[in-house]
Each structure stands twice: as structure tokens, then as C-alpha cells.
A and B are shown apart, each in its own frame.
Chain A
Amino acid sequence: MRARKWYFAAVTGLSILAARVVYADFRAGYYTPTGPETIPQMLPNVASTDATYDAGQYPIYYPELAAGDGKDDVENNCELCHSPRYITMQPVMPAQAWSDEVNKMRKTFGASIPDDTAQKIIQYLGSHYTPETRKR
């Protein structure tokens, strides 16, 4: 009787070992507590049967600009025509390239930015968005 018990125990143990070998070691049931944010689904936009085709408003995703002198000048001037994402999207560029960009906005695109303000914007971009200075 005792020998029979040991026999069962041995068979069981071997079965468990075999199961691990045959059915593989896999990892299951792990969830990470903080994932990327979820994105809501939107309702259809078909309120009326008139001739107006309304897609609704477009969302703004305001980026985090580097803190520092001149940030206000960027917000008060550059953002008239475009989102500051036009800054944060760009690759890191040498200070001279940022200076060229600001001058292009003034001369080519007609942005009415006074000289001293433009200098502050150039200084700001060259202080935070070059290969040496960009944080993220």
C-alpha cells in the first residue's frame, strides 16, 4: 500500500515535469498598471439633413515648450499662424538654422515680429532646441 502511494507520487511528479517540458514555459497574466492613455471613440456627426457638412472642431494638442526666457515671445508671436508643435516637431538644429527659420517667418512669410522680439525668439530656440541643448 505504501509502495503504491510512492508510485503514484513519482508518476505525478514526473507528469508535472513532463508537462513543463512538453507544454512549454510561457508567461501569462501580467498587466502593467500604467499604459499609454486611451483615445475616446467619437460619435457620428450627422445631426441634420440640410446642406451643411460639418466635421466638427479639430483638436489642439498643445506641446510642452521648454521653460526659459523668450517662451512668452514664442507664444505671443509664432503661435499666431501655427501651433508650437511646429517647433517641437523639428529635428534638433544648430542655432544658426533656428535664426534662419525665424527670419524666414518674418521676411518670407511676413510675420510682423519686431527686431528685439525676434532676437529673443532666436535666442530662446537656440538655447533649447539645438543638438547640444534639447532636453527631449
Chain B
Amino acid sequence: MKTSRRNFIRTGVMAAAAAPALAAWPASLPKAADQQPSDRQPAPEFTGPGANPYWTSPGQFATYPQKAPLILLTDRPVQLETPRPYFLSTFTPNEAFFVRWHLQTIPNAVDLKEWRLHVEGNVERPLTLSFPELVTRFKSASVAAVNQCSGNSRSRLQPRVAGGQWGNGAMGNAAWTGAKLRDILDAAGVKSGSVQVQFEGLDRGLGPKGYGSNRFMKSLDLTNPVIDECLVAFAMNDEPLPMLNGFPARLIVPGYFATYWLKSLSSIRVLDTPDDNFWMKAAYRIPDTPRGNTTPDGMKSGKVATVPIAKMPVRSFLISPDGSMKIPAGFPLRLRGIAFSGYGGIKRVEASTENGANWSEARLGPDAGEYSFRTWSLDWTPKTAGRYQLAVRATDTKGNVQPDEGVWNPGGYLWNKIERQEIVVGEAS
């Protein structure tokens, strides 16, 4: 007893003499029961009927070949969502790029001795291009372009609609390099009377022939100016495409939703009649209304005409802070995120720390091209503790501004409402 007390005193004196060593001292004191750190809990599954409250789909992580852990939506066909922190940069790493296939029989391996890109249909000279021919025969071009699933953010819709329940992570930006589609078409010689060009990849489904569950094909009008901007890309961020993102080559359609960006491309078919396959005639169509907006009753009336989905409306996202931890009052924060538009580049990004009551113009990051993500940042120091509703909205070079209203259509497409993020600022002293 006496000894231990003396030791205690000695320890205390030593500690008092060496103030820095004291930093470790309180941690070794007995901890009261009410001092336990909080238990971390996995985010609960959320299936509605309300809107998904999470930034991404509330699923679990999974690893796939060539991929960092991504958020699992479905395993057959594969649908994987990119976690939020990967969007801090202009370019999304290939390892983190989202994955979405329509049919279950997708390539695991491709033998480049056998793989050919067929250019066929209503052309003067059908082509059968090997991988080296694709790489060397045409002058390569590069474009930075956002690839976004038509149903990105589908889990926000009210009422909820069936389909891939993506949060915001069914998008990515990459530097794509490949042959120009126009050069390939010119080499084959498009015959007069042609109306569309159809694309198909190596993926196949187990449904019966003639159904959308058997083959996935998409077409673009030959009169569409985007044809001149399309690439058949063999490189993604200066690397071969990951198998799950369409090795060895995929179509790049800058400004357009990802449904047209056919993966593991094997056929380019020039058509002399409009494509009436399921994926053009029935799927991926939007109401021919402002913003593609309608209602369940409107659809039931049968009076809503539809058109194929096309360009991506302007969107912006706050990536950091993400609300995962409190921020101390007085901390000099830098709000950071990305913005993009399929209608051309980003003109302006504004952020609000007052739920949209007031807006401040953000600084735009480097411009990698009109179809790329554009990073933005805004410095802000929250002075007092409290809950803050941050919001971000972008304006594109065509003057389109993100609306503060959601959208509803049966496919769950075209969501571009102003994004919000609550952050909690704690007392700092």
C-alpha cells in the first residue's frame, strides 16, 4: 500500500515534470462506463417505399476481377456501383468504375486471336477488324467523357420504380482513346438509304431468340451529329479496358447516357430501316415531355408519347464532406465535388450552406473537355455548432440549371435534382 502510493506519487511527479508525456496519461486512466465509444453499425438495408436516403445504393461491398471493392447491386448479370470517395477526382479510376450488364452471359476472357469487330450491313465494303487493326489502322483520338447509367439515382424516385436501385454512383469519367466511329464507317462505305447504325457486343442472354432477354443492341441515327464524336475505344485512362467495362473495345458516345456505350463491341451494323429491337423500341425510352417528367396516372392514361433516351441533363455532386463524421466549429472546410452535363461543359457551380436559401459561386477545377467531370471547390468555415443543409447546383454552357424538383418516369431515368447533404458541426471547445 505504502509502496504503491509512493510509486503513484513518483509517477505523478515525473509526469508533471515532463508535460508532453502527459498526453498519454488520461488514456490510461480507468474509463467510466459512459465513456465507451459508440458502436459502429452497418447501414441498415433500405428498400423503401420512401426514397433511398443514402448517397449510394445501401448494399454491401463485393470484389470482382480487376476491381476494388464496389457496391453490389446484382451478381448475375453484374451491376456494381462506385463508392462516393472516388468522385473527388476528375477521372474515375478503372478499378472503381461502375459496372452494368443487361444479360447474364458476359465475357470472362477474350481471345484476341479470335476477336473481330465486324462492320457490316448496308455498307460497300464489310470490314473484319482485328485488335491490332483497330489500334493502328485508324488515327487514334481521345476524349474525356462521362459514362452515366440512364437509371443513375433511380432509388430517389417517388413512387419507387423497379429496376437497378442505384444511388448516385452509376457514373464515371474516363479518358477514352480509340478509333473514330466516323473513320470506321467511312472505311466500310455507308450506302445511300442507310438510316441508323446498330451496335452489339459479346454479351448474350438465356431468353428466347428475338427477345430482349437474348441480345442487347442499341442504335444511333446516322444523321445524329454525335456520330462524329463517337469513338470505338480500346483504352480507358491509358489502360486496356477492364473486362467488366467492355474489354477489348467499347463504344463511346460523348454526352449520351451509357445505354448506347456498347461494351465488348463485336458488331457495327448499318441499317436501312429503323432498329425495332426491344432495347430501342420498348426499353430506355423517356416521356416526350419537359425533363422526361410524368406521373404514374399519366402513364396509365396511355397518352404519354415516348422517345429514346439521349443526352444527360446537367448534374453536380458534393463529394466531401460526406456527413460521415462531425466537423468541429471553426474548421476551415473545403467543399469539393464534381459537375457535368451532356449538353456541353459546365459554366458555373454554386453551393449553399443554407439549404439553398443563399448560394455562393464555387471555383471550377481544370477543364478536361466539355463532356468530362469538372471538379469544383468552395471554402467555408462553419462558425457555430449545428446541423447544416448543404446543397449544390450546376449550370451548363447552354444555360441549363439544375432544378430543385425530382423527376418521375416509369424507367427511373434522368434524375438531376439539386443534391443535398446534411453535415453536423460540433462544438470545438
Give the residues in chain A near B109, CB-CB below 8 Å. 52-55
Q: Can you report 22 residue pairs joining A to B where beta carbons are below 8 Å apart?
A: A12-B13, A16-B25, A19-B22, A20-B26, A25-B35, A36-B60, A40-B63, A54-B108, A55-B65, A55-B66, A58-B244, A61-B72, A81-B104, A81-B213, A85-B73, A85-B75, A86-B74, A89-B73, A91-B47, A92-B49, A108-B282, A131-B48
Is the CB of B331 closer than 8 A to any CB of chain A?
Answer: no
Identify the stretch in B136-144, B200-208, B309-317, B382-390 within 8 Å (CB) of chain A at 4 or more residues: B200-208
A40 to B212, CA, bound (A): 36
Given contacts A32-B39, A53-B248, contact A61 B75 (CB under 8 A): yes
Give the residues in chain A near B35, CB-CB below 8 Å. 25, 27
Contact A13 B12 (CB under 8 A): yes
Identify the stretch in B110-118, B172-180, B366-374 within 8 Å (CB) of chain A at 4 or more residues: B110-118
Considering only CB atoms, which chain A residue lies closest to B16 in the complex?
A15
Is the CB of B15 closer than 8 A to any CB of chain A?
Answer: yes
Give the residues in chain B near A112, CB-CB below 8 Å. 208
Taken residue by residue from 40 to 74, chain A's Cβ proximity to chain B (1 for < 8 Å, 0 otherwise) reads as 10100100000111111111111000000000000
Is the CB of B1 closer than 8 A to any CB of chain A?
Answer: no
Contact B65 A52 (CB under 8 A): no
- State the majority secondary structure of interface residues on B: loop
Instruction: Choose among A11, A26, A28 the residue that contacts B16 (Cβ–Cβ < 8 A).
Output: A11
Instruction: Choose among A23, A89, A90 the residue that contacts B22 (Cβ–Cβ < 8 A).
Output: A23
A contact residues, range: 35 or more
Give the residues in chain B near A90, CB-CB below 8 Å. 47, 162, 165
**Minimum-distance CB pairs A-B, first 4:** A12-B12, A55-B243, A91-B48, A54-B109
Give the residues in chain A near B213, CB-CB below 8 Å. 81, 109-111
Considering only CB atoms, which chain A residue lies closest to B114 in the complex?
A51
Is the CB of B37 closer than 8 A to any CB of chain A?
Answer: yes
A61-B72, A110-B210 provided; 16 other pairs, C-beta below 8 A? A8-B13, A12-B13, A19-B26, A23-B22, A42-B63, A52-B111, A54-B108, A55-B247, A85-B73, A85-B76, A90-B47, A91-B47, A91-B48, A91-B155, A108-B282, A111-B207
- Find residues 203-253 in chain B having any chain A CB closer than 8 Å to their own CB: 205-208, 210-214, 240, 242-244, 247-248
Give the residues in chain B near A97, CB-CB below 8 Å. 162
A66 to B131, CA, bound (A): 47
Is the CB of A114 closer than 8 A to any CB of chain B?
Answer: no
Contact A56 B22 (CB under 8 A): no
Q: Residues of B with Cβ closer than 8 Å to A?
A: 9, 12-13, 15-16, 22-23, 25-27, 29, 31, 35-37, 39-40, 42, 45, 47-49, 57, 59-66, 69, 72-78, 104, 106-113, 155, 160-162, 164-165, 205-208, 210-214, 240, 242-244, 247-248, 278, 282
A101 to B160, CA, bound (A): 14
- State the majority secondary structure of interface residues on A: loop
Give the residues in chain A near B76, CB-CB below 8 Å. 58, 60, 82-83, 85
Instruction: Choose among A9, A82, A91 the residue that contacts B77 (Cβ–Cβ < 8 A).
Output: A82
Considering only CB atoms, which chain B residue lies closest to A36 in the complex?
B42
Give the residues in chain B near A56, CB-CB below 8 Å. 65, 108
Give the residues in chain B near A30, CB-CB below 8 Å. 36-37
Contact B74 A85 (CB under 8 A): yes
Instruction: Choose among B39, B42, B75, B208 the residue that contacts A83 (Cβ–Cβ < 8 A).
Output: B75
Contact B74 A89 (CB under 8 A): yes
Is the CB of A24 closer than 8 A to any CB of chain B?
Answer: yes
Is the CB of A80 closer than 8 A to any CB of chain B?
Answer: yes
Given contacts A27-B35, A39-B69, A131-B49, contact A109 B207 (CB under 8 A): yes
Contact A19 B25 (CB under 8 A): yes
A108 to B279, CA, bound (A): 11
Give the residues in chain A near B106, CB-CB below 8 Å. 58
Give the residues in chain A near B65, CB-CB below 8 Å. 42, 45, 55-56, 58
Give the residues in chain A near B240, CB-CB below 8 Å. 53
A42 to B66, CA, bound (A): 9
A90 to B46, CA, bound (A): 10
A89 to B75, CA, bound (A): 11
Contact A12 B112 (CB under 8 A): no
Taken residue by residue from 117 to 136, chain A's Cβ proximity to chain B (1 for < 8 Å, 0 otherwise) reads as 00000000000000100101
